[in-house]
Structure 1
Amino acid sequence: MDSTPRHPDRFKDAIPSSSPAFGTPARPFRLPKGNAPSKTSILPILLPPSTLRPVAFRTFTRKHNLTISSSALQTLAVFVGKNCGSGWREEGLAERVLDEIAKIWKRAGGGVIVEEGKGASLKTILQTLEGSMIGGRVIAGKDGSKPSALGMYDGPMETTDSSGSFAKPGRTEEEDAQLSLHPRNWLKVINAFDLPRLTYNVDKKYFEVVQSKPSLFPSPAHKTALFRDRYNLVYQRLLRNESFQSSLGTAGVPSLQRSSSNLAHRQSYKLTPIANLLGRTGTSHLLLGLLSISHTGELSLVDLTGSVALDLSHARMIPEDGAWFAPGMIVLVDGIYEEEEMVKGAALGGNTGIGGAIGGQFVGISICGPPCERRDISLGTSNRQGSGQMSSSGGFGWVDFLGLGSERAQGARMRRIQEKSLRNDPETPETSIRLKVAVMSEINLDNMKTLDALKKVFSIYNDLALPERPQAFVLLGNFVQRAVISGGGRAGSIEYKEYFDSLALVLSDFPALLQHSTFVFVPGDNDPWASAFSAGAASTVPRQPIPDLFTSRVKRAFATANSELGAHDTEPAGDAIWTSNPARLSWFGPVHDIAVFRDDMSARLRRSAVNTTLDNEDPDVTMQEPSGSAAGAFGTGDSQIDDLGQEEGTKVAALSGASMARRLVKTLLDQGTVSPFPLPLRPILWDHASALQLYPLPTALVLADPEAAPFCITYEGCHVMNPGRLLPEGGAPMARWIEYDVLRNRGKIREERC
């Protein structure tokens, strides 16, 4: 018979009643007033991290899309064992506490990896939460609305952003209302040397910041790490591609060319490490590796396991003639391995040659670049519109690639600020507000005709209404035709300064532009001080801005124009920013990311590209899109030639260079870097190589290459623009530049006779 009291009045009886079997009281000896339970004492237990791992995985990973490091799991196990005791599992105390910790971590601006010292402070969260726990449970405050421990996390919290992998804390709407909503206040020009130095951690499958101090003379191990990081980044991107994800019912390893007759049966590709080719002569494999020149002078393919001689004499490109493949690039090669005894006159001896090279050769049948990945997929935001959560493929939405806040933490807030900024002025219709950028390249100030072309461009925009003027002007070098600094002596520096003094005179004629626009100057290879050592040849990248020694007169012109502004004017003053090459322009944090790079890219690709049998074919054939399902599988994407708004004759000339433009864009974006070359061809500062990455893809890329025809192309959501030369060679004097609409993510080539 159940001896448990069923009537409230019976609780007044203080005489205990024990169970006959176990001699335990059926009710407590003494109850507090109001029949409310007293504060339950918890007997701490020693909880192993491995025992807590399933509950932590279910709460942090499945519910909150977070990952716990081993050290954080150890800390959580000690905390749960101390504050929840033996009821951590049976009563579900641990799961509720971990859920609160995960919520506080995300509110505090923590990243996707829960780890002490990176992002929010886990130790601070646990200390604050411990004071609000009674009986292993988080008790709400007096108002009963929320736990008192959450009070300190309602607003911005000071976080440790040294990792670069976590976003800065968000702000409340009240604080956002007090911010300046002029669009130019949210334009940030980021120097390449100020970008977070990120490296991809293969074990954690996440980005980390290099904690060591950068140096111009680092250890030789940093050179190896440069290419290893590039390989790991491409490899993880490749494995997330649907063509490399195995599915049930898939059998065999197909080649790169997939049959389009049976699209219902999706085939998947499987990569083979080079070291696994030994003993498998005559078999077909798909390799991912770095094209390089071996110590014998032969073309070879290298991955993290070894290298093999490569024969591409009969290989076909996918898409046909759609990209350049040169040493220093990471490529996919499908072919057949032949062991050394099958190859006559093999240069490599033995099965384990010098530098991990294996004997024999790999005969390529088809070759292509690694498929590109759209920006929203890389950030894991492709499902945000539907579910508001990260995509199932993971993504790096919590990584702060620019040092301005991650997409996951700041994206929604910045889009709200952008919307308010564009309709801040009630007298201006929202449709007339534009975020435009005028981009001009190869501004040779030692040519008087260039100054006339600049006057023409500035006069056109000076006559427009204020909302129609560009918010920014991007002027890219080379600012001189020859590297005059390399001549030595004082005269070279004096001449160079005089060229910028003449530019200051031109700018002074347009004070309205100086007052209401931001001018960004990006150097070229002929500009100081790099040209003093390279004599105009390819210098190291990234490279420093032009020194202040030469730009003082230009800055003085801006100061004079801004002094004429009224004190009541709330618009930010105009500014001249001298930045590095490459550089990033960010509008509204991670919403608009514009990469800018000045380099003679196309000429270097033509000189160093690997020849195949397709090089002798008619180039007009390459104007058509590749057919078959292989093209879609390997990232031909949504490449398109935009309507440039030109005359019919100019359109024909533009279409004649469309093949080269597509080839250039696809080569760079597939490689995920602006410098896919060996170090002898394009030297790189090893400790700043991450500043050259194009991962995730920027929203727009300004690729200033005067050797290539001007173009505007969208590929996998990234709009790539080449303004060409400001003053085209030959013909009548003409000014040519690109006008880029930030909101529409589209550029347009403009031409005006001088």
Structure 2
Amino acid sequence: MSRPHQPEKSRAAPIFKQPPIPAQSNPIPSSSPAFATPAHPVRPFNVAAAPARGIILPILLPPATLRPLAFRTFTKKHSLTLTSSALQVLATFIGRHCGTGWREEGLAERVLEEVAKSWKNRNGGVIVEGEGNDLKDILRNLEGSMSGGRIVTAKELSRQNSLVLGSSQHAEVSHTRLGLRPNVLEREDSQSSLGMSTLGVEDEEDDDEIRDPRKWLRVIDAFEQPRLVYNVGKKHFDRETSKPSLLPSPSHKTQVFRNRYNLIHQRLLRNEAFQAPTFEPSKAPSLRRSASSLATAQQSYKLTPIANLLGRNGTNHMLLGLLTISPTGTLAISDLTGSIALDLTHAKPIPEDGAWFAPGMIVLVDGTYEEEDNNTVSLGGSGGVGGTIGGKFIGFFIGGPPCERRAVTLGVSGKNGDGDITAGGGFGWVDFLGVGSERAVGSKMRKLEQRLIRQPTGDDELGGRGRVIIIGEVNLDEPRTLQALKKLLGIYAAEPEEDTPMTFVLMGNFTQHAVMARGGSGGSIEYKEYFDGLASTLADYPTLLQSATFIFVPGDNDGWASSFSAGAATPLPRKGVPEMFTSRIKRAFATANAEAEKEKGKKTDGEAIWTTNPSRLSLFGPTHEIVLFRDNISGRLRRTAIRFSSSKPAEDEEEMGMSPVPEPVQEPAEMDIDTDVQAAESHVAEPAAAAESISSDLHAARKLVKTILDQGYLSPFGMATRPVLWDYTSALQLYPLPTALVLADTEAPAFCVTYEGCYVMNPGSVVAPGRRGVAKWVEYDIRNKAGKVREVLF
């Protein structure tokens, strides 16, 4: 379908509480189950013959009788849709367990309310179905907590379905001020909870264990992260129930690209530029900016499926598809309906020199379709559906799909995403990380954060407990690396113990070459000795080991993956360094904790965690999500990206590699627009030519960040360029946008920039290249959601 208003060839599209339950139940069974029992039944002549109190006599409850009450609870209150099979299952359950008091005593309403909340916490979607096992599992868990037709809140509903831990509920609640504890936000708890209404909340003083914000920190392994797939029919996320495999069927490879396309497509349809206006625009759109907003004049744009291009020769269209290399070696674009050859000879990237475009990326192309003379289909497929369409698509403009802020994705109000869930769209009920959804625990977690992480006393104070220290490539086979680490750790060890950073992140490669593949002289023995040397260095700073969490992220040269890849690109995600090489480091932490308990009389629990690449840090549930990723992605982009003839060289080439890395700013211009008008929108960054003069390093950083975040994927390349494990690609998704992204790339300059509310950091290498005796790292302040690149001489 072509757009109603076609832009000129020289212009580009500018999108680039519950009521109390009565104390008594009716002792007389109804003679008319469909109409229940009268409110004041006749007193029986033989009271002793009446059923005992607390015993429920089952009734046959027709689904049609329950439908009005179920409609009010599920549809009106919780915006859910009940199928006929689900209504039948609920009617049978309520008739069996609530009996004749299902209506007058409010028993059925209570059951329906808990079922609706449990369904949402399971991310079951907007349609409640009765054929699957989800609804049956909810009712099975609920059945164990019912007595006399009522839900008994005095007993635990289920150990895996409650957010309160411990053998005694009262003992645990007395230590929890907001009804939550650090170790309860587990994957099973957040998915199968029967709702927050059954939890007790008491304002009591917290113990030392809860007062430490590090207790609310959780490292999420890529292989443990929930596997979610976007369901186009339900417009919601479904949990993948099949067991993942390292050797899945070939159909799973197709599903990887299909899920990426569906995520970006639904994101675009929610963008204002793709929503039909309520009135006709008076003029064509323009790329000119008025103040800080796009002057689109209410112009909307439509995406054309590739299969619909047949028979529409010479018409202008906008395509959303995957850049691929066809079997003939030419560039092509593909979507879910077909594929077509792509001609980008005269194409102009939007923004110009502001992003990378490489095969494997999903892009927007605006151009004209030219049909072949014979009007045939080059490859298989009838009418172009499922095959390659004849002809070619001449692109005039190409750009990445606009990014979407985290607050918009989750449907959270407030300028910084710290408000309540809005009534509009969004996926606030979805638990993306297995730590609880934004709608379930988000507001409570933000209150905890404000109370546990103290505010600074001065404007320039960035110290305190709420810091994450990110150390780039730590090559242990380089002697200067350990010297730089000693100087770095000594700075934080000299600080007061209560202000020690909560987390230190050390990222690989831990060796310069693939030692496991005989890239060195000693193989695995030498590889273990490197970590033994790191353990000796860490043991010199026992205060840090006692009060902080050290997280180690591997690189491509680390074991075991490098033993067969020889340092080449390994499949993502990849497991952490094996425990047999890191035993000495864990022993150093155990020794430091034992000495603290012996000398100070208090127990400490500093720890070392060897996680996957990539991995995620979750602090206070869904409030903070920090993605850790180690990959030289900028070099791979330079090798595989498309070069446009219309691209102009940078005007400040003389500054390339000469200017120092600029100090990061809180709100970089042209990269993050935080105006009230655009708080709920997504925008394309301004071209570098139209921006003020900036250093080449900062321009390269912005170009890299925009490319990755617009794609919403950590590895937007073909399988041959950067292989991935098909069943674990959910760990590579950047949807919704994280609050912070650590993109450790030694081939890119160290930077800290913000794009669409996501703070992106690159620590570079701990030993600054080309500068003698300089150690470099990034210090990220969780409280302010900002960081800075720090340097020190050693």
TM range (shorter): 0.7 to 0.9
Secondary structure of the corresponding residue to residue 590 of structure 1:
helix
- Please report how far the alpha carbon of residue 110 of structure 1 lies from its aligned counterpart in structure 2 after TM superposition: 3.4
Match of 1:580 in 2: 612
Match of 1:507 in 2: 538
Contact 1:222 1:687 in 2 (8 A): yes
Instruction: Give the Cα–Cα distance (whole angstroms) in 1 for the partners of residues 255 and 140 of structure 2.
Output: 35
Q: Deviation per CA, 1:90-147, whole angstroms, max 9, x where unpaired?
A: xx999995586135642797345345644895425886899777xxxxxxxxxxxxxx
Match of 1:743 among 775, 783, 793: 783
Match of 1:542 in 2: 573
When residues 748 and 612 of structure 1 are mapped into structure 2, their CA distance, relative to the original with a 3 A threshold, is same
Deviates more, 1:654-663 or 1:242-251: 242-251
Structure 1 counterpart of 2:775, which letter?
A
Structure 1 counterpart of 2:472, which letter?
S
Deviates more, 1:434-443 or 1:261-270: 261-270
- Please report how far the alpha carbon of residue 172 of structure 1 lies from its aligned counterpart in structure 2 after TM superposition: 3.3
1:196-215 equivalences under 5 Å are: 196-215=226-245
Match of 1:729 among 746, 758, 769: 769
Instruction: Give the Cα–Cα distance (whole angstroms) in 2 for the partners of residues 232 and 271 of structure 1.
Output: 13
Match of 2:729 in 1: 689
Match of 2:372 among 314, 334, 340: 340
- Please report how far the alpha carbon of residue 727 of structure 1 lies from its aligned counterpart in structure 2 after TM superposition: 0.7
Is 1:75 paired with 2:105? no
| Greater Cα radius of gyration, structure 1 or 2 | 1
- Please report how far the alpha carbon of residue 677 of structure 1 lies from its aligned counterpart in structure 2 after TM superposition: 0.6
Is 1:102 paired with 2:104? no
Match of 2:469 in 1: 438
Contact 1:168 1:406 in 2 (8 A): no
- Please report how far the alpha carbon of residue 615 of structure 1 lies from its aligned counterpart in structure 2 after TM superposition: 2.7
Contact 2:381 2:387 in 1 (8 A): no
When residues 637 and 488 of structure 1 are mapped into structure 2, their CA distance, relative to the original with a 3 A threshold, is closer
Instruction: Give the Cα–Cα distance (whole angstroms) in 2 for the partners of residues 514 and 128 of structure 1.
Output: 45
- Please report how far the alpha carbon of residue 327 of structure 1 lies from its aligned counterpart in structure 2 after TM superposition: 0.7
Secondary structure of the corresponding residue to residue 328 of structure 1:
coil
Match of 2:35 in 1: none
- Please report how far the alpha carbon of residue 725 of structure 1 lies from its aligned counterpart in structure 2 after TM superposition: 1.1
- Please report how far the alpha carbon of residue 538 of structure 1 lies from its aligned counterpart in structure 2 after TM superposition: 0.8
When residues 543 and 126 of structure 1 are mapped into structure 2, their CA distance, relative to the original with a 3 A threshold, is closer
Structure 2 counterpart of 1:457, which letter?
L
Match of 1:707 in 2: 747
Match of 2:643 in 1: 611
Contact 2:556 2:570 in 1 (8 A): yes
1:410-559 equivalences under 5 Å are: 410-422=441-453, 433-487=464-518, 491-559=522-590
Instruction: Give the Cα–Cα distance (whole angstroms) in 2 for the partners of residues 358 and 255 of structure 1.
Output: 30
Secondary structure of the corresponding residue to residue 679 of structure 1:
coil
When residues 126 and 703 of structure 1 are mapped into structure 2, their CA distance, relative to the original with a 3 A threshold, is closer
Secondary structure of the corresponding residue to residue 217 of structure 1:
coil
Is 1:397 paired with 2:428? yes
- TM-score, normalising length: structure 2: 0.76
Match of 1:594 in 2: 626
- Please report how far the alpha carbon of residue 283 of structure 1 lies from its aligned counterpart in structure 2 after TM superposition: 1.1
Instruction: Give the Cα–Cα distance (whole angstroms) in 1 for the partners of residues 309 and 330 of structure 2.
Output: 19
Instruction: Give the Cα–Cα distance (whole angstroms) in 2 for the partners of residues 540 and 553 of structure 1.
Output: 28
Is 1:323 paired with 2:337? no
Unaligned runs of 5+ in 1: 1-26, 134-147, 425-429, 642-651
- Please report how far the alpha carbon of residue 249 of structure 1 lies from its aligned counterpart in structure 2 after TM superposition: 1.8
Secondary structure of the corresponding residue to residue 112 of structure 2:
helix
Q: Deviation per CA, 1:459-509, whole angstroms, max 9, x where unpaired?
A: 111111123321111000111111121128992111111111111111121
- TM-score, normalising length: structure 1: 0.80
Is 1:180 paired with 2:210? yes
When residues 551 and 328 of structure 1 are mapped into structure 2, their CA distance, relative to the original with a 3 A threshold, is same
1:651-662 equivalences under 5 Å are: 655-662=695-702
Secondary structure of the corresponding residue to residue 351 of structure 2:
coil
When residues 351 and 446 of structure 1 are mapped into structure 2, their CA distance, relative to the original with a 3 A threshold, is same
When residues 654 and 564 of structure 1 are mapped into structure 2, their CA distance, relative to the original with a 3 A threshold, is farther
- Please report how far the alpha carbon of residue 414 of structure 1 lies from its aligned counterpart in structure 2 after TM superposition: 2.2
- Please report how far the alpha carbon of residue 337 of structure 1 lies from its aligned counterpart in structure 2 after TM superposition: 1.0
When residues 570 and 107 of structure 1 are mapped into structure 2, their CA distance, relative to the original with a 3 A threshold, is farther
When residues 101 and 708 of structure 1 are mapped into structure 2, their CA distance, relative to the original with a 3 A threshold, is same
Deviates more, 1:609-618 or 1:204-213: 609-618
When residues 696 and 149 of structure 1 are mapped into structure 2, their CA distance, relative to the original with a 3 A threshold, is same
- Please report how far the alpha carbon of residue 85 of structure 1 lies from its aligned counterpart in structure 2 after TM superposition: 12
Match of 2:304 among 272, 278, 283: 272
Q: Deviation per CA, 1:260-311, whole angstroms, max 9, x where unpaired?
A: 6995841222111111111111111111111111111111111111111111
When residues 252 and 525 of structure 1 are mapped into structure 2, their CA distance, relative to the original with a 3 A threshold, is farther
Q: CA RMSD, aligned part only?
A: 4.5
Contact 2:351 2:686 in 1 (8 A): no
Instruction: Give the Cα–Cα distance (whole angstroms) in 1 for the partners of residues 511 and 314 of structure 2.
Output: 56
When residues 434 and 28 of structure 1 are mapped into structure 2, their CA distance, relative to the original with a 3 A threshold, is closer
When residues 634 and 59 of structure 1 are mapped into structure 2, their CA distance, relative to the original with a 3 A threshold, is closer
Instruction: Give the Cα–Cα distance (whole angstroms) in 1 for the partners of residues 353 and 109 of structure 2.
Output: 55
Secondary structure of the corresponding residue to residue 775 of structure 2:
strand
Structure 1 counterpart of 2:78, which letter?
H
Instruction: Give the Cα–Cα distance (whole angstroms) in 2 for the partners of residues 373 and 519 of structure 1.
Output: 32
When residues 296 and 466 of structure 1 are mapped into structure 2, their CA distance, relative to the original with a 3 A threshold, is same
Match of 1:245 in 2: 275
Is 1:123 paired with 2:139? yes
Is 1:560 paired with 2:591? yes
Is 1:149 paired with 2:151? yes
Q: Deviation per CA, 1:622-662, whole angstroms, max 9, x where unpaired?
A: 99849999x99994468999xxxxxxxxxx99832111111
Q: Deviation per CA, 1:22-48, whole angstroms, max 9, x where unpaired?
A: xxxxx9999559xxxx99x99957446
When residues 197 and 342 of structure 1 are mapped into structure 2, their CA distance, relative to the original with a 3 A threshold, is same
Q: Give the length in aligned residue pairs.
A: 690
Match of 1:310 in 2: 342
Structure 2 counterpart of 1:333, which letter?
V
Instruction: Give the Cα–Cα distance (whole angstroms) in 2 for the partners of residues 120 and 420 of structure 1.
Output: 40
When residues 484 and 654 of structure 1 are mapped into structure 2, their CA distance, relative to the original with a 3 A threshold, is farther
- Please report how far the alpha carbon of residue 197 of structure 1 lies from its aligned counterpart in structure 2 after TM superposition: 1.4
Structure 1 counterpart of 2:757, which letter?
G
Secondary structure of the corresponding residue to residue 237 of structure 2:
strand
Contact 1:348 1:360 in 2 (8 A): no
Unaligned runs of 5+ in 2: 1-37, 45-49, 52-56, 163-186, 456-460, 657-667
Contact 1:104 1:153 in 2 (8 A): no
Structure 1 counterpart of 2:714, which letter?
V
Instruction: Give the Cα–Cα distance (whole angstroms) in 2 for the partners of residues 117 and 152 of structure 1.
Output: 27
Contact 2:737 2:758 in 1 (8 A): yes
- Please report how far the alpha carbon of residue 608 of structure 1 lies from its aligned counterpart in structure 2 after TM superposition: 0.8
Instruction: Give the Cα–Cα distance (whole angstroms) in 1 for the partners of residues 344 and 681 of structure 2.
Output: 19
Instruction: Give the Cα–Cα distance (whole angstroms) in 2 for the partners of residues 287 and 732 of structure 1.
Output: 50
Deviates more, 1:120-129 or 1:676-685: 120-129
Instruction: Give the Cα–Cα distance (whole angstroms) in 2 for the partners of residues 70 and 28 of structure 1.
Output: 29
- Please report how far the alpha carbon of residue 422 of structure 1 lies from its aligned counterpart in structure 2 after TM superposition: 3.1
Secondary structure of the corresponding residue to residue 565 of structure 1:
helix
Instruction: Give the Cα–Cα distance (whole angstroms) in 1 for the partners of residues 273 and 363 of structure 2.
Output: 16
What fraction of aligned residue pairs are identical, expressed as a percent? 50
Instruction: Give the Cα–Cα distance (whole angstroms) in 1 for the partners of residues 450 and 782 of structure 2.
Output: 13
Is 1:698 paired with 2:741? no
Contact 2:74 2:116 in 1 (8 A): no
- Please report how far the alpha carbon of residue 335 of structure 1 lies from its aligned counterpart in structure 2 after TM superposition: 1.2
